[in-house]
Structure 1
């Protein structure tokens, strides 16, 4: 797991589109674009510009909306320039004005001399805050890479892991052929979002939808099967470990004992599927995906089976069936 660092310039250069776009531009203090953003949060500095600096979260991005901007105008009209100068004595990552608000020349000149970047967006404060926090959630989320194949089967994100050559890519290719979608092959990057969700995607977006099939080579899933056969990212909801069949190992045959794997502090259900000739892995994985969806709806097949067996035993029918049969020998 590696720590992510981002500068104000990196934030401006992010390729964000649609509902994720921040619509920002730098209007002053370009020399401060290389300041690092270390806290994934936003501060509204209304109290600070009024002179109250106790618990001032200066290490956060400072957002000026209409209220803060109106108060700045009031300070300047009253000649309270010292309060504005004191505000810039704190080393803030950057300042953002929403609603396309144009700060005064005095404010911009102090920002220039303090080497603090002043940015502007045409978004309203609420929309900008929500979008920036989503961006921060992705940037600062704990991350690591795994060797495996990530697919979406019946809406369930399934991470296939196992030793090299066990058949992960071939299984995923058959799943794509059956109408499911590939998220990433070989190297999967996962990140923890909101402390309880694991989001997976290709570690390299340029090659994540290519697949290596031994004996065939590299194939492009999007080109062969269309864009409907791929996804950019998906929540990891199940891990399936493929392993060569081991005659001495006892595999779970009922499924009443759920196993979990820890991924970045989040427990994800995991099942082990032994691989040997004659087993139809894609159908087994499809059944596992549908069974997982049933579990999220509150239905547990294995538990119901176990309860039915117990009720059958308690009624005495099992004893009558056993002792009522004559010995045929």
Structure 2
């Protein structure tokens, strides 16, 4: 999880800092936002102080209906030690007395030109992305026909060489060796490469190559959803490998179940072509066509027809 503070919001959304400059380093630890209408109306129980407080036109119109001393009292209540900041939509303004309290307590008050609904939506998306749980896994992430294929396997089994062949065949590399994964929402995993090794690929016997420099900008991408996992392992003649594809195995990556296929590796097998076919088959399944189920149905119908003939 990355650390986010108020200054990040100000920079990203081009906000104006109205007061409380010394509190710009306050950390934002939750993705939820608060529109403190109840608190402004006088109900101060269960105040979510750890959230960003959003004030829009409705809240400020309400404040104009109550005495000024009550306005100052209730707005000052919002400026607790835990409150990251108060964000005002539509560049609306607060009384100067409130700004003085903000400066005294070090709680930033920032303005945005966005409408309240739009501001809430954009802030939520930004925080969910930045505060998403993260993990780093050893493997190679590629974009094959628009499908994010995460290639796993023991060291030296050929993951990077397979990725190189996929790049030569027109697909794109996302990350090699180490993949940083963020779970931005339930069921959605986004993989990226660490900055230090972005666009780099290690080929044993050759060394490190820069895929973007060698193959062009179209051969790489910075991030990709992880749609399926391909597990490479040495061929074991005593192990039963899936031949029909009726049973879809799952692998838990962080808290999300991802479809996984196990591909046995032995001399003569073209892993890049197999992964291409696996990616295309994945797309067909998501579009509603499953070749294995279709074959099974045809086989069942043939057997039933034969039995009825007898």
Q: Contact 1:75–1:81 (CA<8 Å) still a contact in 2? A: no
Which residue, 219, 235, 239 being the options, matches 1:245?
235
The equivalences for 1:232-311 within 5 A come to 232-311=222-301
2:7 maps to 1:9: yes
Q: TM-score, normalised by structure 2?
A: 0.92
Larger Rg: 1
- CA shift, 1:108, in A, is 0.7
Structure 2 gap ranges (5+): none
The equivalences for 1:5-154 within 5 A come to 5-12=3-10, 21-75=12-66, 80-89=71-80, 91-154=82-145
Q: Secondary structure at the match of 1:56?
A: coil
The equivalences for 1:207-226 within 5 A come to 207-226=197-216
Q: Hey, what's the Cα distance between the residues in 2 that align with 1:250 and 1:214?
A: 30
Q: Contact 1:22–1:128 (CA<8 Å) still a contact in 2? A: no
Q: Hey, what's the Cα distance between the residues in 1 that align with 2:277 and 2:70?
A: 72
- CA shift, 1:265, in A, is 1.8
2:181 maps to 1:190: yes
Describe the superposition over 1:98-136 as per-residue Cα deviations: whole angstroms up to 9, x where unpaired: 222233321110111122111222222222211111111
Q: Hey, what's the Cα distance between the residues in 1 that align with 2:296 and 2:70?
A: 79
Q: Contact 1:22–1:123 (CA<8 Å) still a contact in 2? A: no
Q: Hey, what's the Cα distance between the residues in 2 that align with 1:284 and 1:89?
A: 58
Q: Contact 2:231–2:262 (CA<8 Å) still a contact in 1? A: yes
- CA shift, 1:46, in A, is 2.2
Q: Which of 179-188 and 112-121 deviates more?
A: 112-121
Aligned Cα root-mean-square deviation (Å) = 2.2
Q: TM-score, normalised by structure 1?
A: 0.87
Q: Hey, what's the Cα distance between the residues in 2 that align with 1:123 and 1:141?
A: 24
2:179 maps to 1:181: no
Q: Hey, what's the Cα distance between the residues in 1 that align with 2:70 and 2:122?
A: 35
Q: Contact 2:135–2:181 (CA<8 Å) still a contact in 1? A: yes
Q: Hey, what's the Cα distance between the residues in 2 that align with 1:251 and 1:83?
A: 67
Q: Contact 2:230–2:261 (CA<8 Å) still a contact in 1? A: yes
Q: Contact 2:89–2:119 (CA<8 Å) still a contact in 1? A: yes
Q: Hey, what's the Cα distance between the residues in 2 that align with 1:128 and 1:117?
A: 17
2:226 maps to 1:229: no
Q: Contact 1:37–1:93 (CA<8 Å) still a contact in 2? A: yes
Distance of aligned partners of 1:318 and 1:250 in 2 relative to their CA distance in 1, 3 Å threshold: farther
2:151 maps to 1:160: yes
Describe the superposition over 1:172-214 as per-residue Cα deviations: whole angstroms up to 9, x where unpaired: 1111111111111110011222212111111x13422111111
Distance of aligned partners of 1:309 and 1:123 in 2 relative to their CA distance in 1, 3 Å threshold: same
Structure 1 gap ranges (5+): 14-20, 321-329
Q: Which of 182-191 and 119-128 deviates more?
A: 119-128
Q: Which of 51-60 and 64-73 deviates more?
A: 64-73
